[in-house]
């Protein structure tokens, strides 16, 4: 009502209501891919199971396979049975599957897109999906131009007053700054910026969103969150798996383009940014962009970066092959499966504090964490002997798999002597909350259907991230084969040397 004063109590109540998607159709391109089977289809079911999808919901798969509607429904059923997070409920599945359709065709085929347009309109009529369509492009980016042109030609992308049309794109958003701009131009030509949702699934993780909660909802941490107290920051995303069946995607891309350009730089931005003026998408993105524009690479890229490629070794009791022996990888591949970078953030808060980022496949264990490592006390009144076990104080944000936060500090060992040793204080999600964390894709798909953009990076962030990475990639391109490291270890020696030169070492989570 114009001029009405907002009722604070009412908005309080609104926040507690579950966020439920309105009537809509999700059109999935790339339904036969790994991501659809392992993450997207199960996430859609989990949303339905949690009561967050409306009765007027449709799911349309588009692919080349000679499938009928029921074949796609069967595939989706199997994906759900195998990978869904929440228990299987026949009634939920039945309700969801009644809105499942499949369109067979090639991406360049006009007829197939006309059939798609007919299919979604039929869903509007049969299931009341309201003409609201989200197109999920779970496809290699080289296919984006064909799809978005087809969506435009068939009228499916037409923005209307009474219904929305959105597009969801998955990384990689290009392979360097130039290609990212080209890709964006293609999408931008058809969809207005507010209708483009770029998925960086790390932002959908509860523990990643908790970085902002921890920092900005508490008084405790912010005063120590700066160069006065922080010695350095380590951001680790370690995986124990190898490249698996993804050789075709991964080779030629490598660890830095695969996850540093997006997930790790997003983590850095959330850790280093200033408090946004609100939690609106624009306010958050603006703060993240300020950080990314302030990032500086080391002057000597050879000393301030490291990369490696996994060699044969042992993982979880199994003997595993090296990257070059993986199916589909050329014998002479120079793609890195491990990458580490030393960055600085040139702001008043962070000047001079190194941010060490590392990621790798076939490492010691699967763990993602952000560790703020604090300066040592300026004066140590306890004798060297009594404190020799003590490391630096640290605050560790445990992103996965053991979700939580750990504080490490020194404490007196019980006994007659004044001996001080490291202890930890832990917050663990599983112990503090009864509700399990939703999968990142549940949150992100729901946000797209609701039209809520804070967890989706905008193009500017993508471009700034490529600006950081491009010089590193150019430097590595001149260097030949990355240093081999044994599978099941913590990466190449050059990465350890990178920190050792500065009197530091990587954490062994």
Q: Note the residues at the interface with ligand BG6 (CB under 6 A).
A: 239, 258-259, 368
Nearest residue (CB) to ligand BG6, 236 versus 459: 236
Classified as helix, coil or strand, 53 is coil
* Nearest residue to ligand BG6, scored by beta-carbon proximity: 258
CB of 359 to ligand BG6, least distance (A): 9
CA distance 231 to 221: 15
Which residues have C-beta within 8 Å of that of residue 445, sequence separation ≥ 6? 26, 40, 43, 44, 47, 136
Q: How far is CA 269 from CA 1, 167, 417, 463, in A?
A: 39, 25, 44, 14
CB of 263 to ligand BG6, least distance (A): 6
DSSP result, 419-487 = -EEEEEEEEEHHHH-SSPPPPHHHHHHHHHHHT--TTS--HHHHHHHHHHHHHHHHHHHTS-SPEEEEE
DSSP result, 259-316 = IIIIIIHHHHHHHHPPPPSSSSHHHHHHHHHHHHHHEE--S-HHHHEEEEEEEEEEET
Nearest residue (CB) to ligand BG6, 49 versus 368: 368
CB of 28 to ligand BG6, least distance (A): 18
Nearest residue (CB) to ligand BG6, 288 versus 361: 361
Catalytic residue, chosen from 175, 201, 232, 263, is 263
CB of 51 to ligand BG6, least distance (A): 25
CA distance 191 to 148: 9
Phi then psi for residue 432, to 5 deg, are -90, -25
Nearest residue (CB) to ligand BG6, 46 versus 258: 258
Nearest residue (CB) to ligand BG6, 258 versus 442: 258
CB of 244 to ligand BG6, least distance (A): 8
Residue 67 near residue 74, CB atoms below 8 Å: no
Q: Is 69 a catalytic residue?
A: no
Q: Which two tokens stand for residue 363?
A: 């490492």
Indicate which residues carry an active-site annotation: 263
């Amino acid at each position: 009502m114009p001029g009405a004063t907002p009722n604070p109590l009412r908005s309080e109540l609104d926040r507690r209501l579950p966020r439920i998607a309105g009537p809509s159709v999700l059109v999935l391109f790339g339904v036969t891919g790994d991501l659809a089977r392992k993450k997207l289809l199960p996430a859609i079911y989990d949303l339905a199971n949690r009561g967050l999808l409306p009765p007027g919901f449709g799911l349309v798969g588009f692919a080349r396979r000679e499938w009928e509607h029921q074949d796609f429904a069967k595939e989706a059923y199997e994906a759900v049975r195998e990978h869904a997070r929440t228990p299987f409920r026949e009634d939920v599945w039945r309700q969801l599957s009644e809105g499942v359709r499949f369109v067979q065709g090639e991406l360049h085929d006009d007829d197939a897109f006309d059939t798609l347009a007919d299919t979604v309109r039929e869903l509007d009529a049969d299931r009341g999906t309201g003409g609201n369509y989200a197109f999920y492009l779970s496809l290699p980016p080289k296919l984006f131009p064909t799809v978005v042109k087809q969506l435009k030609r068939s009228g499916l992308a037409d923005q209307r007053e009474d219904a929305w049309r959105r597009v969801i794109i998955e990384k990689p958003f290009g392979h360097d700054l130039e290609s990212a701009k080209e890709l964006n131009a293609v999408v931008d030509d058809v969809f207005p910026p507010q209708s483009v949702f770029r998925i960086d699934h790390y932002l959908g993780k509860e523990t990643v969103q908790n970085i902002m909660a921890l920092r900005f909802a508490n008084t405790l941490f912010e005063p120590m969150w700066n160069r006065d107290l922080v010695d350095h920051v380590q951001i680790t995303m370690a995986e124990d798996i190898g490249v698996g069946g993804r050789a075709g995607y991964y080779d030629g891309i490598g660890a830095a383009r695969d996850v540093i350009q997006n997930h790790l730089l997003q983590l850095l931005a959330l850790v280093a940014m200033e408090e946004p003026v609100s939690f609106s998408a624009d306010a958050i993105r603006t703060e993240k962009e300020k950080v990314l524009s302030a990032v500086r690479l080391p002057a000597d890229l050879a000393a301030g970066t490291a990369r490696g490629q996994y060699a044969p070794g042992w993982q979880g009791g199994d003997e595993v092959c090296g990257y070059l022996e993986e199916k589909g990888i050329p014998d002479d591949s120079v793609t890195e499966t491990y990458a580490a970078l030393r960055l600085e953030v040139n702001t008043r808060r962070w000047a001079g504090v190194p941010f060490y980022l590392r990621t790798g496949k076939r490492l010691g264990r699967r763990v993602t964490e952000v560790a703020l490592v604090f300066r040592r006390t300026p004066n140590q009144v306890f004798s060297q002997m009594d404190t020799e076990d003590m490391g630096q104080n640290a605050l560790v944000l445990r992103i996965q798999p053991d979700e939580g936060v750990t504080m490490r500090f020194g404490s007196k060992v019980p006994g007659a002597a004044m001996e001080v040793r490291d202890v930890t204080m832990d917050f663990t999600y599983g112990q503090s909350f009864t509700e399990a964390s939703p999968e990142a894709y549940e949150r992100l798909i729901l946000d797209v259907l609701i039209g809520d953009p804070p967890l989706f990076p905008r193009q500017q962030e993508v471009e700034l991230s490529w600006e950081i990475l491009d010089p590193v990639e150019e430097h590595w391109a001149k260097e030949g084969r990355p240093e081999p490291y044994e599978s099941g270890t913590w990466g190449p020696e050059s990465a350890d040397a990178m920190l050792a030169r500065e009197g530091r070492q990587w954490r062994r989570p």
